[in-house]
């Protein structure tokens, strides 16, 4: 695996500058829907940026904009020094060697009609790899994600959710990318399966030095896997910083609410957290009222 460990750390692998994403409205001459407003993030080599937020916060859209699946209205997406916000399909093909994706739903992210081997060979074939070499690589990949090699000739429906997600991860790894956008990759999985897949993500990062943009609604998941965390709310990033700080001692009122809303698996500590949350909500409401009175 060609990890560029010696690469200078100062230049980020990916940086997103003042990104705006708008979807045209279906109605005639209506204002377009603004999904993302003024987004700024960077991801370094071998680093994981966790992106946390609730439904409709725009976290998935940000991932899709980086991948070229959402329209960039303004701002830049810079990958290894090149602006890729409006990359052509041909440029994307070159990019796909370095930039890959794992989607949330392992049931719809694999074509049900294709065998696992064909699914994994697809990105290899796009890059012009010989079938024999591709087959060898597919076996390596299956081994890397902990699936048996007889999986090659089986269909996705023969696998459980966790196993399918392993296939999706293997597909993302096929071209040894530098950055993988992970869009809620564990949220459809059972608890024990989630733990195993998170282990796999960490192991792969240790082995290959890949960077992750890890999108999740679960603060615990993001804290576990990320170096830095960005919190999204209504299409904006409200707080960004080292994972430990943002997920344990957040500054922004929304992140504070998010943290205290997530229940802990112990009745007494949860009771404490519940009380803390009620106090926080009361405080924030008082502040809002005061701010409203001043304004």
37-66 residues near other proteins, rule: CB under 8 A: 54-55, 64
* Options 1-9, 27-35, 76-84, 213-221: segment touching other proteins (CB under 8 A): 213-221
Do residues 232 and 57 touch, judged by C-beta distance below 8 A? yes
CB of 112 to other proteins, least distance (A): 4
CB of 181 to other proteins, least distance (A): 8
How far is residue 139's CA from residue 155's CA, in Å, rounded to a whole number?
16
Residue 19 or 159: the one with the smaller Cβ distance to other proteins is 159
Please report how the helices 116-126 and 131-144 are oriented relative to each other, as an axis angle in degrees rounded to 10.
Answer: 120
Q: Which of residues 106-165 bind other proteins (CB under 8 A)?
A: 107-115, 118, 122-123, 126-127, 145-146, 153, 157-164
Q: Which of residues 164-183 bind other proteins (CB under 8 A)?
A: 164, 168, 171
Q: Burial code of 77-102, b = ≥16 C-beta within 10 A, e = fewer?
A: bbbbeeebbebeeeeeeebbebbbbb
* Options 3-11, 31-39, 217-225, 285-293: segment touching other proteins (CB under 8 A): 217-225
**Encoding tokens for residue 16?**
């997103």
Asked if residue 190 binds other proteins (CB under 8 A), the reply is yes
Asked if residue 277 binds other proteins (CB under 8 A), the reply is yes
Residue 128 CB burial class (10 angstroms; 0-12, 13-18, ≥19): exposed
Among 138, 179, 210, 243, binds other proteins (CB under 8 A): 243
Residue 153 CB burial class (10 angstroms; 0-12, 13-18, ≥19): exposed
CB of 13 to other proteins, least distance (A): 17
Residue 192 or 294: the one with the smaller Cβ distance to other proteins is 192
């Amino acid at each position: 695996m060609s990890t560029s460990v010696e690469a200078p750390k100062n230049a980020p692998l990916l940086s997103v500058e003042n990104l705006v994403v708008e979807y045209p409205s279906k109605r005639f001459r209506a204002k377009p829907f603004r999904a993302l407003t003024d987004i700024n993030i960077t991801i370094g080599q071998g680093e994981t940026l966790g992106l946390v937020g609730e439904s409709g916060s725009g976290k998935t859209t940000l991932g899709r904009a980086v991948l070229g699946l959402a329209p960039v209205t303004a701002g830049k997406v810079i990958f290894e020094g090149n602006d890729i916000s409006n990359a052509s399909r041909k440029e994307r093909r070159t990019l796909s060697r370095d930039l890959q994706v794992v989607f949330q739903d392992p049931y719809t992210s694999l074509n049900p009609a294709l065998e696992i081997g064909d699914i994994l060979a697809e990105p290899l074939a796009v890059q012009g790899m010989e079938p024999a070499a591709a087959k060898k690589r597919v076996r390596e990949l299956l081994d890397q994600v902990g699936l048996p090699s007889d999986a090659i000739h089986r269909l996705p429906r023969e696998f459980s959710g966790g196993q399918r997600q392993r296939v999706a991860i293997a597909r993302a790894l096929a071209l040894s990318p530098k950055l993988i956008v992970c869009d809620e990759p564990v949220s459809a999985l059972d608890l024990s399966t989630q733990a195993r897949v998170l282990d796999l993500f960490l192991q792969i990062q240790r082995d290959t030095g890949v960077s992750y943009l890890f999108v999740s609604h679960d603060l615990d998941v993001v804290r576990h896997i990320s170096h830095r965390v960005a919190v999204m709310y209504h299409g904006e990033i409200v707080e960004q910083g080292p994972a430990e700080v943002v997920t344990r001692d957040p500054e922004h009122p929304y992140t504070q609410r998010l943290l205290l809303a997530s229940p802990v698996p112990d009745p007494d500590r949860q009771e404490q957290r519940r009380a803390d949350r009620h106090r926080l909500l009361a405080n924030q409401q008082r502040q809002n009222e005061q701010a409203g009175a001043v304004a």
